[in-house]
Amino acid sequence: MIKLSEIEPPEIKLPEIKLVDQYKRRLDYLRISVTDRCNMKCIYCMTHEKTSKLPCREILRYEEIIRIARIFTRLGVSKIRITGGEPLVRKGICEFLSGIRKLEGLSDLSITTNGVFLKDKIKQIKSAGIRRLNISLDTLDKDKFKNISGIDAFSEVWESIMTALDMGFDPIKINVVALKGINDDELPDFARLSLSYPFQIRFIEYMPIGTSRMTSRQLLAPEIKNRISSIGRLDPVENISVDGPAKRFRFENAKGEVGFIRPISEHFCSSCNRLRLTASGNLKTCLLSETETDLKGPLRKGCSESELAEIILKAVYKKPFEHPLIANSEGIISGEMSAIGG
């Protein structure tokens, strides 16, 4: 087996052109799903209808991901987020993170995790050079946690969050998918966490992807904001380049912040800088579009890196201007969030 640390950058000549689409959006952020597998089955993400997993040979090997990611960084990607499925269930993930960290031109590397295995791997993750973490947590109630995720692991996730805090990870973003009748009673409790902890609590609007059918439970950002407004005045916080589309706010004297990710109530399409590499090696230029471009096939057939770069540039140029989702629309996007990476 090839050691990730031994993959030398090949001598290649890539086009001088950077990743820009036909609407002149600069694409400098790549989300990589390293697996479609997960130890959870969150009701809004991986439904019981999904039982089959991609066969192992269909999943990109780590060295393949690093080769593809290197092309992206050479074409101007400077931010990478590792996601899944659950990235921490994949064997060898920490060595892989160290490999990715070394890519020239990369200024930001982060992971999104459900947090269950984070505590066990956190030292290695820190040694791999990760400082920014997104941890998903939809409830502060142990029993409800089991109902939402299918496993009894609230304590493990909370312990991971506290360990990350002690170890100085910054920022620690807590992702909360807000759902009517499921966790909307806890929205103020989540928001209050930002008073005493330096967390960025990010309320996410549910997107109807794959077989999940939670549209009737969708809660939009204005409503979420309204529900937490009794806590105090929310002052806007200026976004910085690594923030992505979250609209950020802070309560007076709070240690942390709250934010809203609003793919439905306020499309951020016109300023979208994101690309996605799925676990099976497809490039998705829009999370909410069916169009995917196969990179694994050409890579495995021996395409040169400059040929792959051409394929990438062509696909990126055609990135859709916007996605079609509006409030209350049903699941019109096929594919599972767990394989695409969220």
Give which of ligand SF4, ligand SAM, none residue 204 binds (C-beta under 5 to 8 Å, depending on kind).
ligand SAM
Joined together, the tokens standing for residue 154 give: 């609230």
Nearer to ligand SF4, 73 or 136 (CB): 136
User: Which residue among 19, 27, 45, 340 contacts ligand SF4 (CB under 6 A)?
Assistant: 45
Nearer to ligand SF4, 114 or 200 (CB): 114
Build a one-symbol-per-residue string for 196-235: x at contacts with ligand SAM by CB under 6 A, - elsewhere: --------x-xx-x--x-----------------------
Nearer to ligand SF4, 103 or 148 (CB): 148
Residue 13's nearest CA partner among 311, 315, 312, 304 is 304
Chain residues 145-174 in contact with ligand SAM, contact rule CB under 6 A = none
Q: For residue 85, state whether it binds ligand SF4 (rule: CB under 6 A).
A: yes
Q: Point out which span in 40-48, 98-106, 233-241, 244-252 binds ligand SF4 (CB under 6 A).
A: 40-48
Nearer to ligand SAM, 174 or 191 (CB): 174
How far apart CA 334 and CA 342 sit, in angstroms, is: 13
Joined together, the tokens standing for residue 273 give: 């800088």
Give which of ligand SAM, ligand SF4, none residue 175 binds (C-beta under 5 to 8 Å, depending on kind).
ligand SAM
Q: For residue 264, state whether it binds ligand SF4 (rule: CB under 6 A).
A: no
Q: For residue 338, state whether it binds ligand SF4 (rule: CB under 6 A).
A: yes
Q: For residue 282, state whether it binds ligand SAM (rule: CB under 6 A).
A: no
Give which of ligand SF4, ligand SAM, none residue 207 binds (C-beta under 5 to 8 Å, depending on kind).
ligand SAM
What angle (nearest 5°) sits at the alpha carbon of residue 295, between those of residues 272 and 338?
60
Respond yes or no on whether the N-terminal peptide bond of residue 298 is cis (omega within 30° of 0): no
How far apart CA 174 and CA 254 sit, in angstroms, is: 16
The footprint of ligand SAM (CB under 6 A) covers 38, 44-45, 83-84, 86, 112-114, 136, 175, 177, 204, 206-207, 209, 212, 337-338, 341-342
The footprint of ligand SF4 (CB under 6 A) covers 38, 40-42, 45-46, 84-86, 114, 136, 337-338
